[in-house]
Amino acid sequence: MELLQVGPNTYYIKNPTNIGIYKIDEESVFLIDTGNDKDAGKKILKIVDEQGWKVKGIINTHSNADHIGGNKVIQDRTGCEIFSSKIEKCFIENPILESSFLYGGYPFKDITNKFLFAKESVATEINNNLPDGLECFNLKGHFFDMIGIKTSDDVYFLADSLFSEETITKYHLFFIYDVKEYINTLNYLETLQGKIFIPSHCEATEDISTLINLNKAKVEEISNKICNVCEKEMTFEEILKYIFDEYDLQMNSNQYVLVGSTIRSYLSYLCNENKICYEFKDNKMIWKKV
């Protein structure tokens, strides 16, 4: 982990999940997300301690395990408050909800690992609880009620609203809960003007236009692939296999629930847009192009 300063009061820890830090005074800081596990939380605390700071609060942009994994150890050791939006608070306090939601039922043990199942922590609905110098804004789409944070230094923390060119090139699919809202968020990001933008899984940048276009293009590409394969009648499992084969991806339990949930979201989006439809045949749900 590397601490980088990007404004008079704004820092971030470069990490697989970037961690924001904002100084609210000379001694106290707010964190923006906490990484994927207790080890990440301990490393964050070490960096904060080395600077002579104390963690006053944590803002979770959303409740995915790689953003809240360090919550418990930091909260236990500092007594800090954790803030999030309303729906995300439920997942933070009841982490089994993520695995259950992704699977669509009680989760089997292989999807209750640290990548999908963080330790629970106590959160407060964000409302107007942020200190001066911080403001939140909606970034719906990737997860239920994800938010971003803008600091007084004109730095934007963009959570998982954008994925890197490397991720898109290697994996093609990134998790989306609501495709229409995700597209709306990408359109919203085009309107932002700031000094520096820090997505959670990308390099900090002064210009996010290329990233926005890459993410938009991939969503359109996947939508088109699903529509095209539905020229013939397909079950969900057949569509999922087609997407994995098409992008040369390897199935495992984590990928099955993450990509599977995302593909279901694409099917809902395309159905609601009247591009595909479904019917039941021989007790199977069949998807087909309109």
φ, ψ dihedrals at 222, nearest 5° = -65, -40
Going by pLDDT thresholds of 50, 70 and 90, the confidence category of residue 69 is: very high
Going by pLDDT thresholds of 50, 70 and 90, the confidence category of residue 42 is: very high
Q: Please tell me the predicted confidence (pLDDT) of residue 27.
A: 95
pTM of the model: 0.95
Element (H, E) at 165: helix 165-171
Percent of the chain whose predicted confidence (pLDDT) is above 70? 100
Percent of the chain whose predicted confidence (pLDDT) is above 90? 98
Nearest to 34 by CA among 281, 200, 235: 200
Query: Above 90 in pLDDT, residue 128?
Result: no
Q: Are 176 and 265 in contact (CB under 8 A)?
A: yes
249: left (phi over 0), alpha (psi -120 to 50) or beta: beta
What is the CB neighbour count within 10 angstroms for residue 277? 13
Domains present along the chain, CATH in parentheses:
2-217 (3.60.15.10), 220-289 (1.10.10.10)
pLDDT in tens, 74-88: 999 999 999 999 999
Nearest to 118 by CA among 79, 149, 84, 153: 84
Q: Are 23 and 29 in contact (CB under 8 A)?
A: yes
pLDDT in tens, 168-182: 999 999 999 999 999
Contacts of 229 (CB under 8 A, 6+ apart): 239, 242
What is the CB neighbour count within 10 angstroms for residue 187? 11
Q: Please tell me the predicted confidence (pLDDT) of residue 166.
A: 93
Of 44-48, 113-117, 221-225, 231-235, give the lowest mean pLDDT range. Answer: 113-117
Query: Above 90 in pLDDT, residue 204?
Result: yes
Query: Above 90 in pLDDT, residue 129?
Result: no
User: d(Cα 45, Cα 36) in Å, to the nearest integer?
Assistant: 14
